[in-house]
Amino acid sequence: LAETSADPDHPFRRVILQPLITREVLDFVDSDRGRALALTPPLTSDHLIRTKALPMWLDAPAYADLARLREQFQKAVGDYCAQYTAYVERHAASMPPQLSRFDSLPRVVLLPGLGALCAGKDVKAASVARDITAHTLAVKARVAAMGSYEGLPEDELFEMEYHTYQHAKLGGREEPPLARAVAIITGAAGAIGSAIAEELLQNGCHVAVTDLPGEALNGLQEELSHRFGDRVMAAAMDVTDADSVARAFGAVIQNWGGVDLAVLNAGIAAVSSLAELDLETFRKLERVNVEGTLSVMAEAARHFKLQATGGDVVLVSTKNVFSPGASFGAYSSTKAAAHQLARIASLELAEIGVRVNMVAPDAVFSHGARKSGLWAEVGPDRMRARGLDEKGLAEYYRQRNLLKTSVTAKHVARAVLFFATRQTPTTGATLPVDGGLPDATPR
C-alpha cells in the first residue's frame, strides 16, 4: 500500500496500518452478502476523504502461501488503482481547478477469514479509518438485516469527495520528515537510546522503544507517551534471545504494520586488562554486543525483504572501534565486530533498498536524568586512574577533543536522524560524534 515516488532517496510514501479484527468484522467479511455489501458507497461524505468511497476486497486470500498471497494482493491493488483512476477520469471535468487528485491506493482492505487493514499517513489517520470502517460495516449489516442498503450515485460521490471543503479538512502543516516511518530502537532505556527516541518522535516517527523488561523501560514509555501519544510503544527485548527479538518485531508490526528503521543501540561494557579478563565476562559482552547486533540486524533484514519498501539500519558504534583504550579490550573488540557486521550488512542489503550506517560517539555521560549504563560501569575506573571526580572526568573528555566540546546524547540522536532522513545517498558510512579525535578518524 506504499505509493512509489520519483525520489531515489525516498522511493516509497509509506503508510501506517491499523488492524481491525473483531468477531463482528469477521462475521461480516465471511458472510454470503459481505462482499456485495462492503462494496457499496460510504455512509456519509466525511468518510470519503478518510476511507475512499470503496474498500478493496481480496477474494480467497491464500494465507498459507506467502508468495501466492503477495501476487493476489498486488493484483488486487493494481485493479483497485485502475478502477479509482477511471472513476476520477470520468468526472475530472467537474473537479475544482485548485484541487489535486488523491492517490489511487485503497485506505481499507477487507480480508475474508481475517478482518480489515486500515491505512493512513500516520497512526492517527489510520485509526480514524479503522474506527470509520468498524462503524460502517456495523451499520450496513444492520440495515441489510432490515432490508437493503443503497448509497449515493457515483457522480454525487465524486462531487463530495472533490469538494474544496473536504480537501480543506486535510490541509495544514507539512508532514514531518519521518511521519510515515516506524522505528525500533534497542537499548532504548539508557541515555543515548532515550535521546534517539525523542529526536525521532520530534520528527514525526512512530517509535518502538525496546530494552530488558523493567522500570526503566516502563518509565520511558510513560514519559514519551505523555508527550507523543500513540506514536510510542514499548516492547521488552533481550537481544541475546532470538525469540525475544522476533516477538518484539512482531509486536511492532502488529501495532503499526511494519518496520522501516532499526537503531541498534543495545550494548554493555566491562573494564579489565586482557591479562586479567575473565573469559565469561568477555563472552557476556560478546553475546550482547556481537550476537545481539547480528540477531536484531538479521530480523530487520528479513522484514525489510518481505515489505519490499527498503529500510534503514543505524548502528550506534563507538570511537573505540578506531581508537581502542587500555583495559577496555572486551568492549572495544566486541563493538569492532558489531561494526564490521554492519559494514557487511550494507553490502548485502543495498540491493533491496536498505541503507546501513554507523554513528561513533565518545564520552556521552547522560541524557537529562538518565545516566549512561556504559559510564556507570567504566566511569569509576577512569576516575580512579586519573584522580578525578565525575565532573572532572567529564571535563577531561571535553578537553581532549579538538573542538573542546561536550558530546551529548542529543548530538548522537541528531547523527542518527541524519541517516534516518536520508539527507545524502550514503550507506556503509561511519559518522563520528566525538568533538574531533584525530586517532579515531575512520580510515
pLDDT digits (tens, 9 = 90+) for 178-215: 999 999 999 999 999 999 999 999 999 999 999 999 99
Q: How many domains does the chain have?
A: 2
- At 381 the pLDDT is 81
**Confidence band, pLDDT 50/70/90 cuts, at residue 31:** very high
CB-based contact 354:426 (threshold 8 Å): no
What's the CATH number where 347 sits? 3.40.50.720
Residues 32 and 56 in one domain: yes
Q: Do the domain assignments include residue 175?
A: no
- For 328-353, the pLDDT digits (tens) are 999 999 999 999 999 999 999 999 99
**Confidence band, pLDDT 50/70/90 cuts, at residue 166:** low
Q: Do the domain assignments include residue 406?
A: yes
- For 60-90, the pLDDT digits (tens) are 999 999 999 999 999 999 999 999 999 999 9
Q: What is the rounded distance in angstroms from the CA atom of residue 172 to the CA atom of residue 363?
A: 41
Residues 397 and 285 in one domain: yes
Q: Do the domain assignments include residue 69?
A: yes
pLDDT at 116 over 70: yes
Question: Pairing relation of β-strands 232-236 and 206-211?
Answer: parallel
Would you name the residues annotated as active-site residues? Answer: 331
Q: pTM of this prediction?
A: 0.93
Residues 6 or more apart whose CB falls under 8 angstroms from that of 287 comprise 240
Q: Do the domain assignments include residue 373?
A: yes
What's the CATH number where 74 sits? 3.40.225.10
Going from the C-alpha of 226 to that of each of 80, 185, 209, 367, the distances in angstroms are 39, 19, 14, 18
Residues 302 and 387 in one domain: yes
Residues 63 and 190 in one domain: no
Q: What is the mean pLDDT of residues 423-436?
A: 97
pLDDT at 396 over 70: yes
What is the domain extent for residue 82? 3-169
Domain boundary among 118, 139, 169: 169
Residues 66 and 88 in one domain: yes
Residues 233 and 142 in one domain: no
SS (H, E, C) the chain: CCEECCCCCCCEECCEEEEECCHHHHHHHCCCCHHHHHCCCCCCHHHHHHHCCCCEECCCCCCCCHHHHHHHHHHHHHHHHHHHHHHHHHHHHHCCCCCCCCCCCCCEEEECCCEEEEEECCHHHHHHHHHHHHHHHHHHHHHHHHCCCCCCCHHHHHHHHCCHHHHHHCCCCCCCCCCCCEEEECCCCCHHHHHHHHHHHHCCCEEEEEECCCHHHHHHHHHHHHHHHHHEEEEECCCCCHHHHHHHHHHHHHHHCCCCEEEECCCCCCCECCCCCCHHHHHHHHHHHHHHHHHHHHHHHHHHHHHCCCEEEEEECCHHHCCCCCCEHHHHHHHHHHHHHHHHHHHHHHHHCEEEEEEEECCCCEECCEECHHHHHHHHHHHHHHCCCHHHHHHHHHHHCCCCCCCCHHHHHHHHHHHHCCCCCCCCCEEEECCCCHHHCCC
- At 171 the pLDDT is 63
Q: In what order do the strands lie in the sheet with 206-211?
A: 232-236, 206-211, 182-185, 261-264, 311-316, 354-361, 430-433
Q: Do the domain assignments include residue 272?
A: yes
Residues 126 and 16 in one domain: yes
Residues 21 and 121 in one domain: yes
Residues 154 and 212 in one domain: no
Domain boundary among 124, 147, 169: 169
Residues 237 and 386 in one domain: yes
- At 3 the pLDDT is 85
- For 123-142, the pLDDT digits (tens) are 999 999 999 999 999 999 99
Q: Do the domain assignments include residue 176?
A: no
Residues 252 and 317 in one domain: yes
pLDDT at 427 over 80: yes
CB-based contact 257:127 (threshold 8 Å): no
Residues 220 and 120 in one domain: no
Domain boundary among 145, 169, 193: 169
Q: Do the domain assignments include residue 202?
A: yes
Q: Do the domain assignments include residue 399?
A: yes
CB-based contact 352:304 (threshold 8 Å): yes
